[in-house]
Structure 1
Amino acid sequence: MKLSLSRGSRDSLSEQIFQQITSRIHSNMLTSGEKLPSVRQLSADTGVSLLTVHKAYKRLEAAGVVQSIHGKGVFVKAVLNESPAMSSYDWQLSIPTYLTRSSFHSRPKTKYRFDYSALNSGLLPTIYLADQLKQMLEAESSILGTYGDVQGDFLTREAFSAYFQNELGLSGSPDNIIMTTGLHQGIELIAKTLLGPGDVIITEAPTYPGALDIFINRGAKVIPIAMDEEGIRTDLLAQVARAYHPKAIYVNPTFQNPTGRSMSMERRQELLYQAQLHGMFIIEDDSWSELYFDEKPPPKPIKSLDDEGRVLFLKGFSKALAPGIRVGAILAEGSFKQSLLSAKSSSDLGTPLLTQRAVLPFLTSTRMLEHFEKLRLALELRRDKTVAVLANSFDSSISWSVPEGGLNIWLTFPENVSTLDLYEYCLQHDVSFLPGHACYPYEPPYNHLRLTYSILNEHDLEEGLKTFVALTNAFLKQKI
């Protein structure tokens, strides 16, 4: 039996086996009475463990689509109450597709969303931005009929350059800035330029699921390296770099997605040294370094230490200003910048001019800093409420670190608890979160989850947290 399994998928290998065999049974590609391969045979054919196949077969049996006959094997059962006619689209089931973590974004939306790492619209300056856009279009309607430059609008690049210098301690000139349609596109452009089949890239473990999708779909080999409280473990990085000769390392060093941790300045310096020693690029994802709590700014970006174009710095303001205006930037020097421009040209011929100009009123005034100051206070209150509810609801078997900024809290459960099963249970009660296994490239642990406290309004956050902990405690009792 030919199955298409992806170790980079958000779904476990046993879940993929279950889904694909179930689909073939319901579409009559596997017929009633047909014998499935033995556990040992399917394990050998797919390259997964015997336990993984056994777990999938048990699920198929529990779902009532197969029957296990002792000493004879596993057989397809007759599927009742199904339409006898095959759908005209069922032929698509025979063609393998690439299963990705991004499919979580297409899952049903719930009332209590803790899965989406974004800001509640009430925290965003949408009214001001709408007024500015209206004024801009009244004064210069020709913007709608003008293509944006491939590298990006010069005025916007100039504003980004000033912001980088004044707020982040970076000295990048407008000529070294490439505007992107959000930070995510920046990761994609770098991967498109740098990575091909078989190339090696290192990530933190866990890491941002969207980046994993991009790297894996480029055919790259992703090697995850564990983190501690100071960030990625550079002692392990040195060993991996010597053995695998990676082309790059992707890090989110400030209020990391998903853990909320920040890399210490000493670790940032060591990381740059390792990159220089082993000839690697560093892809630095700075999604929300402005969103710090307790009046404690994080360390400066790794890019601020770089004087040889080793660090490819990514900055985005979509989440903090307006998701409807997807504007980001790459700061890169040297010949690699030209390669990125070629990749940008082949991707979209340039970020829309309208969205770039939309952020200018913020970048060129004090409004940006005032907005961030208010946003930090609002998010800090949400973090404190979330931590308080968790602390009053769970015993010491469930742990988390209190983030010093950003949007997320990372929870760790006992190893025998599957947060994927908990996720499916919570979905039935209108609650969602991000199961932690989506943040690892291969053979992930299943006892973590990411909880986002920024997307709900204050009332729904409080109600949602109460619902989440009640569901979690009920789920855990079922497992005892």
Structure 2
Amino acid sequence: MNNIFKMFFEEEIPKYIQISNHIKKLIDNKKINDGEKLPTIRELSKILEVNNVTIVNAYKKLKSDGYAFQKVGSGTYAKRKDLISVFNREYSKTLKSILTEDLDKIIDFTGETNTEMYFPIKEFKNVINKVLDRDGANALIMKEPFGYEELRRTINKELWGGKLDLDNIIIVSGAQQGIDIAVKAIVNINDNVVVEKPTYGGAISVFKWRRANIFELEIKEDGIDLEEFEEILKKNKISCFYTMSYFHNPTGVSYSYEKKLKLLALARKYDFYIIEDDYLSELIYDDGIIHEPLKELDKYERVIYVKSFSKVFLPGIRLGYMIIPNSFIESMQNSKINTDFATSSLMQRALELYIKEGFWKEHIQYQCKEYKTKYELMKNLIEEKLFDKVTYLDPKGGLYFYIKLKNKEVKSKELFYKLKKKNVYITPGIIFFRDSKNGDYFFRISFSQVNKEKIIKGINLIKEELI
């Protein structure tokens, strides 16, 4: 195998880039198999007669370009990029096509947001009219780069009990922008970051754009294994850890109270920050789960909290907020200004009044009641119809179930194509992993965009394909 790595160097191009490009070609041409272990840094430096630092930089570039992944304590492994990216593009195209189809004829188990039937259009329309009557043109033209001050004040009072300073709250255009702002402020090129495995692809994209080194930790029933995490922390300087502490996407896992406290203690001990993406924490269906985000427990100023209103309110308003530690106020405010100067003034004012007048809490209570009914129906059907074909972890909240196939002869991507022919759409696990092999036997089904009749029909069709 050593012979395939032999190459001639060009003077004009840095050696580490030439080595990286050469290995990419070997992976693309299948001379190096997907998942095959690459030579150690010392081995390859001897083969190519270059120093160790050159190979380190070459492997870092391979990882940042998506052609390699690292296993802690094991080494660097090849990854054929097209295995994931081609299907991801196809899946994305499929989701877009759903929007143009007759929705009555399809069963969409891919949804991640509130369905229109649960949106309180009458109340929100009245709130907008009140804002326009009260503020006139200012509701449309006023720009406040860090967010409408009354909205920040209302978020602080109504959602956080007045514990925060307004300077610590920034209004953003959804969670993705919040993650981007946070990462720009705390992660530099070649910094080390830790994420859950699997995780939200949008966060991975931001870390890759910053050319960070990404460590993955498999998520367990109550969060990542903190002993494994600490082993990474002992050997590597970590800048941040990205997490969804409630109803993790896609697994539905919520962190235990004890694990949250230990995680915060580790952040203080090893001097890293936690980006907490509060995804769906309002949608709790079990009295045993207490709503207490990491930020609520954060005594050490280690948590950057990101919250979107899109998932549980209205996707179209594109609003969310961040709570940032004092040490990052200036850098994240600057990052927000550089990203966009202001978020929609009218929507901010309408949301502020909607929360202040108590509609927000009423809306969440209503949604919890409605979604709990569908959650219980889907859970019962999975246990009744699919019990011998799959396993799953009961999320006890959120909008979806994460399913593992028992039969290793069936892969979730194949199941996706079979169900698509029957107008049933699921989300294969490959979407949430950097390495496609890890997602082969998982898929996610959401109940947010389907009624009870479609849930019943959809689960029965899944059963037919798994027989």
Q: TM-score range by the shorter chain?
A: 0.7 to 0.9
Q: Is the 8 A contact 2:419 2:461 kept in 1?
A: no
Residues 227 and 233, structure 1, Cα contact 8 Å, conserved in 2:
yes
1:437 paired with 2:423, answer no
Distance change >3 Å, CA 371–CA 327, structure 1 → 2: same
Specify the alignment match of 2:395 in structure 1: 403
* Residue in 2 that maps onto 1:151: 146
Q: Distance in 2 between matches of 1:443 and 1:326?
A: 31
Give the Cα separation in 2 of the matches to 1:194 and 1:417. 42
CA distances 1:397-420 after superposition (whole Å, capped 9, x unpaired) = 410112211111110113443111
Counterpart of 1:112 in structure 2 is 107
Give a deviation string over 1:179-238, Cα, whole Å, max 9, x none: 001122111211222234322211111222222222223322221111222211111110
Aligned equivalent of 2:53: none
Aligned pairs (5 A) from 1:63-462 = 99=85, 101=88, 104-107=91-94, 108-109=97-98, 111-143=106-138, 145-166=140-161, 171-414=163-406, 415-445=408-438, 446-462=440-456
Q: 1:457 to 1:200 in 2, by over 3 A?
A: same
Amino acid at match of 1:245: K
5+ unaligned residues in a row in structure 2: which ranges? 1-24, 38-81
Structure 1 counterpart of 2:30, one-letter code: S
CA distance in 2, matches of 1:282, 1:40: 34
Q: Answer yes or no: is 1:467 the counterpart of 2:461.
A: yes
Measured in 2, the distance between the counterparts of 1:153 and 1:339 equals 19
- Give aligned-pair identity as a percent: 23
Per mean C-alpha deviation after superposition, the further-off stretch among 128-137 and 292-301 is: 292-301
Give the structure 1 partner of residue 61 of structure 2: none
**Cα distance 1:431–1:295, how it changes in 2: closer, same or farther (>3 A)?**
same
Deviations 1:270-309 (A, max 9, x none): 1111111111100111122111003444241111222332
State TM-score, norm by structure 1.
0.75
Q: How does 1:34-73 map to 2 (within 5 A)?
A: 42-44=29-31, 48=34
Q: Secondary structure at the match of 1:294?
A: coil
Q: CA deviation at 1:41?
A: 8.9
1:441 deviates by 2.4
RMSD of the alignment, in Å? 2.6
| Structure 1 unaligned residues grouped into runs of 5+ | 1-37, 52-95
Farther-moved stretch of structure 1 (331-340 vs 440-449)? 440-449
- Whether the 8 Å contact between 2:140 and 2:346 is mirrored in structure 1 is no
Paired residues of 2:113 and 2:310 also in contact (CA < 8 A): no
- Indicate the SS of the match to 1:315: strand
Q: How many residues align?
A: 387
Matches of 2:187 and 2:434 in 1, distance apart?
16
Instruction: Indicate the SS of the match to 1:359.
Output: helix
Aligned to 2:275, the other structure's residue is in SS state: strand
The answer on whether the counterparts of 2:260 and 2:294 sit within 8 Å (CA) in structure 1 is yes
Q: Is the 8 A contact 2:27 2:34 kept in 1?
A: no
Flag as ranges the 4+ runs of structure 1 deviating above 6 A: 38-41
Task: Report the Cα offset of residue 365 of structure 1.
Answer: 2.5
Q: Quote the Cα distance in structure 2 between the aligned partners of 1:144 and 1:440.
A: 42
CA distance in 2, matches of 1:105, 1:164: 34
Local SS of the residue matching 1:324: helix
Q: 1:103 to 1:203 in 2, by over 3 A?
A: farther
Q: 1:400·1:409 contact (CA, 8 Å) conserved in 2?
A: yes
Residue pair 2:243, 2:277 contacting (<8 A) in 1 also: yes
- Displacement of 1:113 in angstroms is 1.1
Q: Are the counterparts in 2 of residues 247 and 281 from structure 1 also a CA contact under 8 Å? A: yes
Is the alpha carbon distance of 1:104 and 1:337 closer, same or farther for their aligned partners in structure 2, counting shifts above 3 Å? Answer: farther
